[in-house]
Each structure stands twice: as C-alpha cells, then as structure tokens.
Amino acid sequence: MMFNTLSYIGEKLNHEGVVWGVGASVLLHYHGLVEQPKDIDILVATNDIKKVDNLFKNIGIKSKPYKTTTYATEFFYEYIIKGFDVDVMAGLRIKCQDGVFSYGFDASSITDNIEINGITIPLTSLEDWYVIYQLIPNRQSKVMMIENHLLVHGIQNPTLLERLLRGYLPKEVREKIQWLMTCN
C-alpha cells in the first residue's frame, strides 16, 4: 500500500518537473537492507520546495512543524498522504559537534530509478545515506547495514562521496569515508 502512495506522489512530482529523490528506509528496502520502510522520505531541490509544498497540501494533510536540536534543515515538512507519513526535505542540514553538515541535493544525487505502477521513482544513493546516517543520532545500525553492503557490493558512486568530503564533516566521519573508499 505504501508503494501505491509513493507512485501516486511520484506521478504528481514528475508531472510538475520537480527534481526529487527518495531516500532513507525506502532506499534501504530497495537494496534489500530492510524488510518494510517506515515512511517515505523525499529530498527536493530547494528551488522546487514551494511547488512541492503546495502540491502536497492539496493531496494530503500537512503536520505542524516541531523544534529539533539535530537538524538545521532549510525546509522540512511532514504530511500524511493516503494514510502514510511523508517527510519532505530541501536544504538538508545536520548539526554536528563543531559545525553543520549541508547535503547538496541536486539532479546528480539521483543514482537510480525504480518503476512502481508504471511511474518512475528516482532514488538517492546509499553512499549519501551512509554519510547522512552517521550524522543523525541513533542510526548506527543503518550505518553498519550500508557499510557492509558497500563492502560486499562495492561503492557504486564514489564521486558522491568525494563531493561530500569537500564539505564540512566531523573528523571521524571523514576518516570512515576515506577508509571505506580504500577498501574498494
């Protein structure tokens, strides 16, 4: 049922020409790392966020924003669409101990597509989520799942890791990425 909702959303976003991609648990499910996604997480190009917000307010219910000490994301909206939680992010930023990580989502962040009910669904990369999950508290099990997958199947998108290394990252995350890249 969640995937029917994702295809419904995808049809709307594709029709509007939005630069978007799915990440988090749906991405992990696609790669066989989790059995059932818990919600739908969508990353959107910052210049498309108003269009997406207007669209989603028409097809779902927008939740009230809440304060968080973890994120400094430019735009983070939650909706209920056809009974499922849908998180939309543009300008994803995560606060770290001595700085702020900024995820530069754009069209090059899309590394794969799946088709659901005849609708193309763009996917972000495991490499990006390997880094993002290291910066979010209590996501170590997901980091290890992705790391093991990348060690077994290889890094498919090294340029995305290289791009992330050019931005702010805590030292231990930077070292972990560099280690992973030497293993492949």
Q: What is the pTM of this model?
A: 0.94
2-183 CATH pick, 3.65.10.10, 2.60.40.1120, 3.40.120.10, 3.30.460.40: 3.30.460.40
How far apart, in whole angstroms, are the C-alpha atoms of residue 126 and residue 111? 9
Per-residue pLDDT tens for 35-85? 999 999 999 999 999 999 999 999 999 998 777 778 889 999 999 999 999
pLDDT at 143: 98
Which tokens is 49 given?
């966020």
DSSP letter string over 113-171? EEEETTEEEEE--HHHHHHHHHHSTT-HHHHHHHHHHHHHH--S-HHHHHHHHTS---H
CA quadruple 15, 19, 24, 26: dihedral sign: positive
The helix (run of H) or strand (run of E) holding residue 26 is helix 24-30
The domain ranges of the chain are: 2-183
Say if residues 88 and 73 touch (Cβ distance below 8 Å).
no
